Amino acid sequence: MYGKFLHVDLGSGSFRDHVVPEEIARKYIGGKGLGVYLLDSLTPPGTGALDPGNVLIFLTGPFTGTPFPTSGRFVVVTRSPLTGMYVDSHAGGHFAKELRMAGYDGIIVTGKADRPVYLWLEDGKAELRDASDLWGKTVDDTVFAVREKTDGSARVAVIGPAGENLVPIATITMDSDSDKSRAGVAGRGGSGAVMGSKNLKAIAVRGTGTIPVAEEGPFREQVAEIVKAINANDQIHTRRIVGTSSLVESMSRTGILPSYNFQQGYFVPIYGLVSTNLRHYTKRDVACSNCPIICGKVLEDDGHPVKVEYESIALLGSNNGVGKMPLLTKAVRICNQLGLDTISAGGIVGFAMECRQKGILPEAPEFGDAEGQAKLLEDIAYRRGLGAVLAEGVRAAAGKIGKGTDHFAIHVKGMELPGYEPRATWGMALAYATSDRGGCHQRAWTVLGELDGHLPRFSTEGMAKTVKTVQDERAAAYSLVVCDFAPYSQERALACLRHVTGWDISEEEYLTAGERIWNHIRMFNIREAGISRKDDTLPPRMFEDPLPMPPRGEEKVSLKREDFDRMLDEYYELRGWDSDGRPKAETVERLGIQVRI
Amino acid sequence: MYGKFLHVDLGSGSFRDHVVPEEIARKYIGGKGLGVYLLDSLTPPGTGALDPGNVLIFLTGPFTGTPFPTSGRFVVVTRSPLTGMYVDSHAGGHFAKELRMAGYDGIIVTGKADRPVYLWLEDGKAELRDASDLWGKTVDDTVFAVREKTDGSARVAVIGPAGENLVPIATITMDSDSDKSRAGVAGRGGSGAVMGSKNLKAIAVRGTGTIPVAEEGPFREQVAEIVKAINANDQIHTRRIVGTSSLVESMSRTGILPSYNFQQGYFVPIYGLVSTNLRHYTKRDVACSNCPIICGKVLEDDGHPVKVEYESIALLGSNNGVGKMPLLTKAVRICNQLGLDTISAGGIVGFAMECRQKGILPEAPEFGDAEGQAKLLEDIAYRRGLGAVLAEGVRAAAGKIGKGTDHFAIHVKGMELPGYEPRATWGMALAYATSDRGGCHQRAWTVLGELDGHLPRFSTEGMAKTVKTVQDERAAAYSLVVCDFAPYSQERALACLRHVTGWDISEEEYLTAGERIWNHIRMFNIREAGISRKDDTLPPRMFEDPLPMPPRGEEKVSLKREDFDRMLDEYYELRGWDSDGRPKAETVERLGIQVRI
């Protein structure tokens, strides 16, 4: 029912089917879980992220393309050029469903083509074609050119110039913001650079098959209940109207919105960036396949459609002093079209702006200089001038620039932080420090819990337990490959899994799978990137500078190292890891992980 | 150009024109200012609010009906049955423009008809008609019945059953939420009961004349600039998308949203009430005449259109534990159709709910009981059962119930407080205590200033000055009769005033007019309601109970009496009032107020 991959070796130009044994699929569920399993089994130890030997894996999940709500998503797994670690990067849209309809549950790409190529997969039939004339094209131009060459209805995953130029924050983008349906971006960790290193410009798929569901009737009943719950959910109404931007004003009011490269947690000209202002500029609402939430909000820059999200507003907007929606939209469009992760790109520009503020990089733009930001984003994608230094991310840039800039190089394990100030949300401090791909918010998002009183605020109490539990649960959910925004009960999701695949998995097994996946990734990261306790930390600013809070910055909050360390100790203990953050032998055994060391 | 009123004496059934001398009109500008001047000159001292001798005045302003943006508004001035003081109550919609097109700048109503009547004014021709068959009808039914009897395009101001029953929180409503264009409600202070006491069920107007503008060309140029500024304003984009509900989430996150009868400043199930959820349920966006902001959001209850605003969400929603938009919409519809001020009505129900919580009124509904709230609202409008006790407002109800309930009878000078917690916004504490009509937020709204850092928070510093300055400026603006939401500079507004009326008024004169109006009202209130320092205060709860703040109520803030008193002392000093809150002789002289004592 699920587990058939197309293995493309670009070096030899050959194809074969790779079928994952059912017991492995069950153990790792799919998506993220199967991703780490395959990455670990197929990559020779010590393979560099941009070496031909690195494996680039596109995965769906067991629900993908079925009527299960939010099942239109997609995962890319590889070794990240930004962090040197495992990375999984998720995207919405319609590519995933099309791939399954074309007969495959995923694509494994190895090797490197000797010239630019694209992959054309049509109902089980794959071929590699020359892409020399596509090289250099932007994201949208590539999508439309590939459809021209293949099928107007094809779904197309592409890289932009940033991916070609091996910029380690380059994305893989599925389809175009100019499509009527929602595009998707696998944003974080530089999978686009891995694709670029393989000379693979695009993958186009077209499928007309059906996606197998074992017990159609009872599955449909469960799905109807989930849709009903979605339509009755007040938070989802908000998503439907303004997408993720609903957070902007709340985050600024509560000191959580990164502003001026994380120098403060609120942004005074916030009205230019709030959700209703985004709504004002919204031209179109777009959804992933099988999703009734419809959270995608498409604005326009210069007549060109641009999807705008909270993280982009935070990192390219308030973080860099840019407080007008049209200017922000322009910055997002540049990132989307050149194929840059908006979070990391925004973080890098913010870092450069603070260098300018401190007199270290006089050629960098000032905070608030939207035009300067736009130019710098292009320079990063093309590795021009100052952009060449910054393109490697803030960790590498601070290493090169020196002069104490590592104090405000805002990253964890090389990945730039997203839009939540860790000094103002201590759950996120621990979540960032322990995330399996570096500075990422999606593995355990405690923000609203801390604001709504379900979790304590400015307290370490119970945080380790919460973060660990959510990480495991999310690891399992990202293996089903469903969206963070879908409000379904675990019980119902597992009933659906039974109806779709025939797998009878208990809630305990499911959560254990999540824990297994989390630990497996940790072991990969330890082996391949030498990760240990020293890396499970935050940028120095977070411990050393008090955070000015709204409304005027006169109140300040701090996160003490000893509080952070206590959370981390508790976390290791709960995880069954030793004091250096290494899974203990009994933990590995209990979870049944066979890792090659 | 401006100052022609229709004087209707209902006792004799006679009409005459009342033309305000130009020097008075200039001195008091129009609207609110002329309202207090006329009220004071036409009402015999000691006249009760529901006595036939009380005067009910409908006023427009010099811009009304011209292309000046937001000039579609309307003011009702009378002596309030709720507070015993002066009250002006403002409404949007299209009635005001129609009235001016019918040849009048306002209507002065005196006396009492011996049976229900309605006034029909068509292009300068007025008549009183029998309204016996309209008596008892709801707001919408009355509007449509009157149009049936007069002209389908007539604009109609009506009272509902609450006004007929002399409920002192009864509204006058202009047109219907079922109209394609925006209805308006003169909500606060019970002008609907005054209209009811006169047996006047409705006023219908139809006009085809033009509204005079002295210098059309330069006026149009100024207007174009204001429209441009409106369309470029980020806060207005928000108003356009979600109306006033944009505040809901911010207020809850910052401890300012009244919840559980002002027992706490945040509401946990906030997602049911946030702006985007309102947007989700919005069926139609409606605007007042000549307004490009389009802030009216019309939802539906049971297929009937209902306009929903922030204040209604706060007072009928979080304040009473009701956290679902459809339930809230139902409560608003009941108020709108029976003609109850949603702020006072919500405050009264909240008071009853807290009585229930404390075991004092076992028959009152519990917090969160939306059905119980709906029934109680009807009982208040019809003065049935518990509703009969509560109909007089929380001040009177607490007086009747006793048992210490005055501690949580949340009003100032008899008027129930609107949706901003004074312990969490100290500017509002002073603004409520000194407002000219009792517990009102519109005379000086410091909330966003305190949140955005333009004013200090939890500090008395500079508050007296801010509140005094804003009160004067608003008093002048409410006399022009324009909307709080219009972002125009004073200079531009005065240029427009010159172009429209030929009056060349300097900014200083304009602000002095505001101050004059404010002081004139104070003197009216002193004479007619015995107002003094003892009344310029807040409910005991505000000084005695610490306010639980978000997220979990563990943090608490307090407003100390001595801090409040210091603000009040400073305020009196700045106003030129003595220590008991009485304007000093030199103040009265400086402002040129001739008040009858």
CATH number (domain holding residue A528): 1.10.599.10
Question: B250: which chain A residues are within 8 Å (Cβ-Cβ)?
Answer: 249-250, 253
Note whether B550 contacts A451, CB cutoff 8 Å: yes
In this structure, the answer to whether residues B350 and B445 fall within a common structural domain is no
Q: How many contacts, defined by CB atoms under 8 Å, are there between A and B?
A: 100
Same domain as A340, residue A249 = yes
Q: What is the pLDDT of residues B281-306, one digit of tens each?
A: 999 999 999 999 999 999 999 999 99
Model pLDDT, residue A154: 98
Q: Residue B237: which of A238, A249, A277 has the nearest Cβ?
A: A277
Optimal mutation site among B233, B240, B244, B271, interface A, most CBs of chain A within 10 A: B271
For residue A243, the chain B residue with the least C-alpha distance is B276
B296-301, strands of its sheet edge to edge: B284-286, B296-301, B304-307
For residue B250, give how far its alpha carbon lies from the nearest alpha carbon of chain A (Å).
6
Q: State which residues of chain A have pLDDT below 50.
A: none
A462 touches B at CB < 8 Å = no
In this complex, do A249 and B249 lie within 8 Å of one another by their Cβ atoms?
Answer: yes
Q: How far is Cα B487 from Cα B456, in angstroms, rounded to an integer?
A: 23
Q: 3-class SS at B484?
A: coil
Nearest CA to CA, how far is A241 from chain B (Å)? 6
**B77-102 mean pLDDT:** 98
CB-based contact, B253 to chain A, within 8 Å: yes
Asked if residue A250 belongs to a domain, the reply is: yes
Q: Report how far residue A477's alpha carbon sits from residue B532's, in angstroms, rounded to the nearest whole number.
A: 65
pLDDT at A596: 62
Could you tell me if residue A147 is inside a domain?
yes
- Give the per-residue pLDDT at B597: 54
Where do the H-state alpha helices sit in B61-184?
95-101, 139-149, 161-164
**Full DSSP string of B22-73:** HHHHHHH-SHHHHHHHHHHHHSPTT--TTSTTS-EEEE--TTTTSSSTTTT-
Give the number of other CB atoms < 10 A from CB of residue B366.
Answer: 12
On whether any CB of chain B is under 8 Å from the CB of A402, the answer is no
Residues pairing with A204 in the sheet:
A120, A156
Domain boundary among B359, B383, B409: B409
A268 at the B interface (CB within 8 A)? yes
Closest CB to A238 among B276, B450, B453:
B276
Q: Mutate which of B236, B273, B275, B294 to disrupt the A interface (most A C-beta within 10 Å)?
A: B275
Instruction: Report if residue A51 sits inside a domain.
Output: yes
Instruction: Give pTM, 2 decimals.
Output: 0.93
Cβ atoms B414, B347 nearer than 8 A: no
Instruction: Note whether B266 and B397 are same-domain residues.
Output: yes
Number of domains within chain A: 3
CA distance B406 to B398: 5
Cα separation, B424 vs A267, in Å, equals 21
What per-residue confidence (pLDDT) applies to A487? 86
CA distance B466 to A160: 54
> How far apart, in whole angstroms, are the C-alpha atoms of residue B306 and residue B177?
6
Does B556 contact chain A (CB < 8 Å)? Answer: no
**Residues B440 and B381 placed together within one structural domain of the fold:** no
Both tokens assigned to B102: 């019918």
Q: Is the dihedral of CA A370, A372, A373, A377 positive or negative?
A: positive
Q: B44 and B107 share a domain?
A: yes
Among A324, A327, A452, most B C-beta atoms within 10 A, so best to mutate, is: A452
Interacting residues of B376 by C-beta distance below 8 A, sequence separation 6+: B349, B352, B364, B365, B386, B387, B390
Q: Give the CA angle between residues A135, A136, A138 to the nearest 5°.
A: 110
Q: Do B38 and B153 fall within a single domain?
A: yes
Q: Any idea what the CATH number is for the domain that residue B268 is in?
A: 1.10.569.10
Which of A157, A186, A206 lies at the terminal end of a domain, its last residue? A206
3-state DSSP call for residue B277?
helix
pLDDT digit string, tens, across residues B363-391 = 999 999 999 999 999 999 999 999 999 99
Q: Touching check for B237 and chain A: CB below 8 Å?
A: yes
Report yes or no on B383 lying in a domain. Answer: yes
Q: Kindly state whether residue B130 falls inside one of the protein's structural domains.
A: yes
> Which residue is listed with tokens 């779709």?
A500
Name which of B276, B278, B324, B459 to mutate to probe chain A: the one with the most chain A Cβ atoms within 10 A of its Cβ: B276
Question: Alpha carbon of A131 to those of A123, A142, A145, A173, B358: distances in Å?
Answer: 21, 10, 10, 17, 76
Q: What is the pLDDT of residue A90?
A: 97
What is the enclosing helix (H) or strand (E) of B128? Answer: strand B125-130
Nearest to A242 among B234, B240, B276 (CB): B276
User: Residue A571 domain-assigned?
Assistant: yes
Q: Do B271 and A550 touch (CB under 8 A)?
A: no
Residue range B481-488: mean pLDDT, rounded: 90
Q: What is the ipTM of this complex?
A: 0.88
In B131-259, beta strands by DSSP E: 155-158, 172-174, 184-186, 200-206
| Domain match, A197 and A251 both | no
Q: Are residues B391 and B433 in the same domain?
A: no
Look at residues A160, A184, A206 and tell me which one is the last residue of a structural domain. A206
Gap between the terminal Cα atoms of chain A: 32
Alpha helical stretches, state H, A502-560: 507-529, 540-544
Query: Cβ–Cβ of A450/B235 closer than 8 Å?
Result: no
- A484: number of Cβ within 10 Å: 14
Do A433 and A368 reside in the same domain of the chain? no
Q: Given an 8 Å threshold on Cβ–Cβ distance, is A246 in contact with B451?
A: no
- Do B279 and A241 count as a contact with CB atoms less than 8 A apart? yes
Q: Looking at the structure, do residues B309 and B395 belong to the same domain, yes or no?
A: yes
Q: Please tell me if residue B280 touches chain A, with a CB cutoff of 8 Å.
A: yes
Position B1 scores a pLDDT of: 75
Cβ neighbours of B292 in A, within 8 Å: none
In a domain, A343, yes or no: yes
Same domain, yes or no: B431 and B467: yes
pLDDT in tens, B333-361: 999 999 999 999 999 999 999 999 999 99
Strand A296-301 and strand A74-79: the pairing is unpaired
B238 touching A (Cβ < 8 Å): yes
Q: What is the mean pLDDT of chain B?
A: 97
The SS3 of residue A136 is: coil
Task: For residue A99, give the CATH number of its domain.
Answer: 3.60.9.10
CA B496 to CA B299: how far, in whole Å? Answer: 35
Q: Is residue B12 part of a domain?
A: yes
Burial of B552 (0-12, 13-18, 19+ CB in 10 A): middle
pLDDT at A153: 97
Q: In angstroms, rounded to a whole number, what is the distance separating the alpha carbons of residues B552 and B533?
A: 36
Residue A565: which residues within 8 A CB-CB, separation 6 or more? none
* Structural element, H or E, at residue B562: helix B561-575
Contacts A242 to B, Cβ<8 Å = 276, 279
Q: What is the CA radius of gyration of chain B?
A: 22
Token couple for B35: 């309202």
Across the interface, whether the CB atoms of B253 and A279 are under 8 A apart is answered no
pLDDT tier, B594 (very low <50, low <70, confident <90, very high otherwise) = confident
Domain carrying residue B532:
426-486+506-591
